[in-house]
Amino acid sequence: MSPTTPLPQRAAPSGRRELPEAPFLAAARGERPARTPVWFMRQAGRSLPEYRALREGVPMLDACFDPEMLAEITLQPVRRHAVDAAILFSDIVVPLKAAGVDIDIVPGTGPVVAAPVRDLAAVKALPELAPDQVAKVADGVRLLVERLGGTPLIGFAGAPFTLASYLIEGGPSRNHEHTKALMHSSPEVWHELAGRLADIALTFLRAQLDAGVDAIQLFDSWAGALSERDYREFVLPHSAKVLDGVAAYGVPRIHFGVGTGELLVAMREAGADVVGVDWRIPLDEAVRRLGGSAVVQGNLDPALLHASWPVLEAEVRRIVEEGRAADGHIFNLGHGVLPGVDPDVLTRVVGLVHEL
């Protein structure tokens, strides 16, 4: 499918759960729920001993395609921490793997691609994603919808730029040198690649939405490596294709990246209802940059979960107070939970946020 050809719009399924009392969904709509909702990126995973026990001997991507396992892992932090939303246990490379791309998650490294994609022939050779290739993920979503009660479920996908950066670099990169070089030296190749990845992300999100997720988050984790000019030229149209493509479902759309303080306005223009903010700028400043009216998510520095409780408590209180400048605020970290965090600290943070 051409990168400029929109995928057909799809109506929201009529059987979606009604969760009028969920603080997370109320805040995402720009309302003021009785308490500030809180969830954590990477809340399901390495910080939990029950997760490590369940995953022992099971490769990461195998777990992502096992409906019962991914459902149980997703539920673990909801039970332990009483967070206001669950996020589907998955990975941004799951749809690439499902489509047939030779990619794996290497412990201690991250996603690694067997053959980097750096020319038009390699782009043209990329497979498309069919919904039935992620049917097991959708099955896991359906299990979660049955088991979560009144807790909303967030589905997610990786944004085209971040997915492309892994494919082009061959794995994680500090400088994204091959990605930026391709963007500028072969823009036609870049847009072909980003367009194909937008289609893959959109197919993946629609599969989750059709199965019943209550919100979605588009992770453009490494977009902060770009200038605003480059973001608007090379990235925004493709992220907009993804976010616009799920608009008909009527669920909150969260857009998040790391180091994106200079890109917040452009990222909202891509179609975000909720703008994720990392820890580098205060939430009230983020709202100011967004024109004084915005729904934001964030933004405790994950490293401070290792600090003493008085230090951490002061930071949580500051962030909740700064979040009051927004039309709606969802408390979260400025990135994901680090693997060595004491889970009892996360539980304590949830309790504090709910009290404030």
Helix (H/G/I), strand (E/B), else coil: 207: helix
- Residue 42 labeled ligand binder: yes
- The neighbouring-strand residues paired with 217 are 156, 254
Cβ within 8 Å of residue 6, ≥6 positions away? 241, 245
Tokens, residue 315: 């930071």
Annotated binding-site residue? 43 = yes
Structure tokens at 347: 């539980």
H/E run at residue 296? strand 295-300
Known active-site residue 232: no
166 belongs to an annotated ligand binding site? yes
Choose among 58, 121, 122: nearest CA to 89.
58
Alpha helices (H) along 94-154:
94-99, 120-124, 135-147
Instruction: State both tokens at 350.
Output: 């949830």
- Check the annotation: does 221 bind a ligand: yes
Helical pair 135-147 and 67-81, crossing angle rounded to 10 deg: 40
CA neighbor of 75 nearest in space, from 64, 65, 87, 66: 87
Q: Is 114 annotated as a binding residue?
A: no
Tokens for 204, please give them: 């993946």
Catalytic residue of the set 66, 80, 84, 91: 91
Query: Known binder of ligand: residue 46?
Result: yes
d(CA 73, CA 88): 9
List, in sequence order, every beta strand (DSSP E) within 61-113. 86-87, 103-106, 110-113
Active-site residue, from 46, 142, 147, 317: 46
| Residue 45 is assigned to a ligand binding site | yes
Q: Which of 51, 66, 166, 253 is catalytic?
A: 166
DSSP 30-54: T---SS--B--TT-SSTT-HHHHHH
Partnered with residue 145 across adjacent β-strands are: none
Annotated catalytic residue 55: yes
Residue type, 148: L
CA distances from 327 to 38, 258, 302 (A): 16, 22, 24
- Is 91 marked as a binding-site residue? yes
Question: Is residue 1 within 8 Å of 295, Cβ to Cβ?
Answer: no
280 is catalytic: no
327 catalytic per annotation = no
- Please give the Cα distance from 304 to 15 (Å, whole number): 41
What is the Cα–Cα distance from 37 to 329, expressed in whole angstroms?
A: 8
Residues assigned a catalytic role? 42, 46, 55, 91, 166
Binding-site residue numbers are 42-46, 91, 166, 221, 335
Name the binding residues for substrate: 42-46, 91, 166, 221, 335
